Amino acid sequence: MRHEVVIVGGGTAGITVAARLRRAGVTDVAVVEPSEHHYCQPLWTLVGGGLADAASTVRPEARVLPVGVTWIRDRAVQVHPDARTVDLDDGRRLSYEHLVVAPGLRLDFDGVPGLAEAVGHDGVSSNYRFDLAPRTWEFIRQVRGGTAVFTMPPGPIKCAGAPQKIAYLAADWWRRQGALDRMRVILVLPTAAMFSQPDWGEVLKGVAAGYGIEVRHDTHLVEVDGPARRAVLLDTKGGTKEDIDFEVLHAVPPQSAPDWVKASPLAGATAALAPGGTLLVVGDDRANLTSGVGGPQDAAVLYTPEQIVAGLDGLRVDRADTVRRPVPADGRTAEALDTVVVAVRP
Ligand SMILES: Cc1cc2nc3c(=O)[nH]c(=O)nc-3n(C[C@H](O)[C@H](O)[C@H](O)COP(=O)(O)OP(=O)(O)OC[C@H]3O[C@@H](n4cnc5c(N)ncnc54)[C@H](O)[C@@H]3O)c2cc1C
């Protein structure tokens, strides 16, 4: 089977790219997606906050795929960029002219000891899964006093705002129930700032203070004892650990690329580049933390042109810049900073 464009993953990214390509006149686009269902994940925050039904976040995949796109209902298991092929779980092999890889991030609940066992009961939940978001709301709704902990992991995650939004929705609910005074609400962030964009960070600082939320910076969840309802937090600056007894814990799991992507030539693009081939790297620039808007807040997952170039042994670097990209922000135009590197294998 051969297609001009193969897109691995029919989630938000995959279907959006497929729609743009179809609109641009590309006729042969195939999407590899095993799931019959498409989920609007941003709505899961509202499900956890009691403001939306889980059922309203699901659509049949067939209904969201753009007209004219071929749906291959299987899972990609390996990519061979040199041969321009993708292996599917059922043993079939697809050929492509162009490949888009969009299988989303893997949720690693096992990355925090005790978390995988605890989620879904003992007051522990996470809006990051369709089946768990309604449990978040159950736990929040039932509590009338005690400690509630909301955590964000270090490293890249989808939606840097989601770990905070559920804390504010919960605090607002408890305030409306007259229970907020009996609650101790702790928001645990791995970062030194509230948010990557300083002026939004200032606003969020005010929102948290308005609900009396204690914010722990440079701190993350390292262990959960579900039956004992105890969370262990690590302050990475001081190197100290703290045990906290909770009534409710909303934990966002660590996230990373799926294992098959990590183990594929995609993770070693430099080595896989054929003579005459061009490597294009576009990513959020580390300078975005201080002078740009949006993007991840963790310096460990941001780039500098110099850092990318240092990993391009044997390639000729034609371009290595920090590029300003205009983006709309609150009715005005702000700038996001991207690292752009173009290199060629001689
Ligand atoms: C609780 C929560 C709140 C959020 N809030 C917001 C928000 O307010 N605003 C915002 O902009 N974003 C938000 N997001 C983030 C947003 O949902 C994601 O950024 C977006 O879904 C990413 O799209 P994606 O297509 O990359 O991944 P996904 O939407 O996760 O889709 C990946 C797809 O790839 C498929 N797949 C996986 N492995 C394979 C494989 N091997 N082969 C083929 N297919 C595969 C999966 O079945 C899935 O359909 C939120 C996310 C969560 C979880």
Structure tokens at 81: 């960029």
124 - beta bridge partners? 249
Quickly tell me which residue has 């993350």 as its tokens.
Answer: 220
d(CA 272, CA 161): 35
Residue 171 scores a pLDDT above 90: yes
Domains 107-256 and 273-346 share a fold: no
| DSSP classification of residue 274 | P
Residue 299 scores a pLDDT above 80: no
Q: From the CB of 76, is ligand 1 less than 6 Å away? A: yes
Residue 135 scores a pLDDT above 80: yes
Give tens-digit pLDDT for 115-130: 999 999 999 999 999 9
Architecture of the domain spanning 107-256: 3-Layer(bba) Sandwich (3.50)
d(CA 116, CA 139): 17
Ligand 1, atom nearest to 133 Cα: 1
Structure tokens at 18: 């497929």
- From edge to edge, which strands make up the β-sheet containing 85-88? 70-72, 29-32, 2-8, 93-101, 85-88, 76-80
Residue 283 scores a pLDDT above 90: no
Name the closest-CA residue to atom 27, ligand 1.
Answer: 104
Centroid of ligand 1 to alpha carbon of 156 (angstroms) = 13
Residue 216 scores a pLDDT above 90: yes
Centroid of ligand 1 to alpha carbon of 335 (angstroms) = 25
Cα-based torsion angle of the residue sequence 229, 297, 111, 139 in order, rounded to the nearest 10 degrees: 30
Give tens-digit pLDDT for 14-51: 999 999 999 999 999 999 999 999 999 999 999 999 99
Averaged pLDDT, 310-337: 90
96 - beta bridge partners? 3
- 3-state SS class at 226: coil
Domain locations in the chain as residue ranges = 1-104+258-267, 107-256, 273-346
* The CATH fold of domain 273-346: Rossmann fold (3.40.50)
Best mutation site among 131, 158, 262, 327 for ligand 1, i.e. most ligand atoms within 8 A of its Cβ?
158
Centroid of ligand 1 to alpha carbon of 30 (angstroms) = 19
d(CA 259, CA 257): 6
CATH of 1-104+258-267, picked from 3.50.50.60, 3.40.50.11890, 3.40.640.10, 3.40.50.920, is: 3.50.50.60
Rg of the chain's alpha carbons, rounded to an integer?
Answer: 22
Chain center to CA of 182:
33
- The amino acid present at 319, given as its one-letter code, is R
